[in-house]
Amino acid sequence: MSLAGRTYAIAGAGGALGPHVAWALLAAGANVALADRDQELLEGVVGTLPSDRVRSDAVDLLDPAESVRWCEAVTRRFGAVDGLLHLVGGWRGGTPLAEAPDDDWLVMHDLAIRTTQHTSRAFREQLAAAGPRGRFLLVSSLQAQAPGGRSAAYAAAKAAAETWTLALADDLKGTGATANVVVVNALVTPEQKEASPEKAFKTFQDVRDVAATLTFLCTDPARTMSGQRVVLAGAH
């Protein structure tokens, strides 16, 4: 389904999922605006995208003013922003809850919650102005609803980011724009599969499948979905 002429900002584009989401949106005809704090990772992604419909910016999404400036720059380049896909990742954990350092929470609070807050606030008016084309999509984890004792900080931060996104969906009511959460367990790339052909990766979600889901959620048939958790990870 065509997304021709529409523009989607991708936060955390330098991660494993970012290039595949950018490819999928470009293939559907959209413009993409990539942001990541790591300039080197960002340049690596841009180098794989043969299109003049790409913009990239090194942005510290922990700075609300930088998040606003990013939105303004994307709007100047493409005229409007139809969607924001929040792919910012990161993980801290592995230690029993009673022994986990406070730093785990501080890191995950920044990565999962503050970046979601800053990007959603910065782009909120653009998404609302896009009406039924407007999309906010957050990639989250099963841990948000089924936390493990060794990943309490990670799970709590993801749950908070999901809650913020569902609140944004309510805030956007009446504008036609939507906000949804896509839930995965763990991601696997084609390169990882090729490097370990003996592994089944049964509990992993292929980044290409996640990218296809995110792209579908940007299309017109998904315009009535809002405030939903789309769970791609399930029992195997």
Residue that is written with structure tokens 């029993």 in the block: 96
Tell me: the pLDDT tens digits for 36-68? Answer: 998 888 998 998 888 889 999 999 999 999 999
Which is nearest to 88 in space by CA: 160, 145, 20, 37?
37
Q: Is it the case that residue 236 has pLDDT exceeding 50?
A: no
Strand partners, 180: 137
Q: pTM of the predicted model, to two decimals?
A: 0.95
Q: Work out the end-to-end distance of the chain between its first and last CA atoms, rounded to an integer number of angstroms.
A: 30
Instruction: Please tell me the distance from the alpha carbon of residue 123 to that of residue 108, in angstroms, as a whole number.
Output: 22
Name the residue type at position 148. G
194 phi and psi, to 5 degrees?
A: -70, -35
- Predicted confidence band of residue 130 (pLDDT cuts 50, 70, 90): very high
Considering only CA atoms, give the Rg of the chain: 17
Q: Is it the case that residue 147 has pLDDT exceeding 70?
A: yes
Q: Which two tokens stand for residue 60?
A: 């510290």
Give me the CATH code for the 7-231 domain, please.
Answer: 3.40.50.720
Tell me: the pLDDT tens digits for 164-178? Answer: 999 999 999 999 999
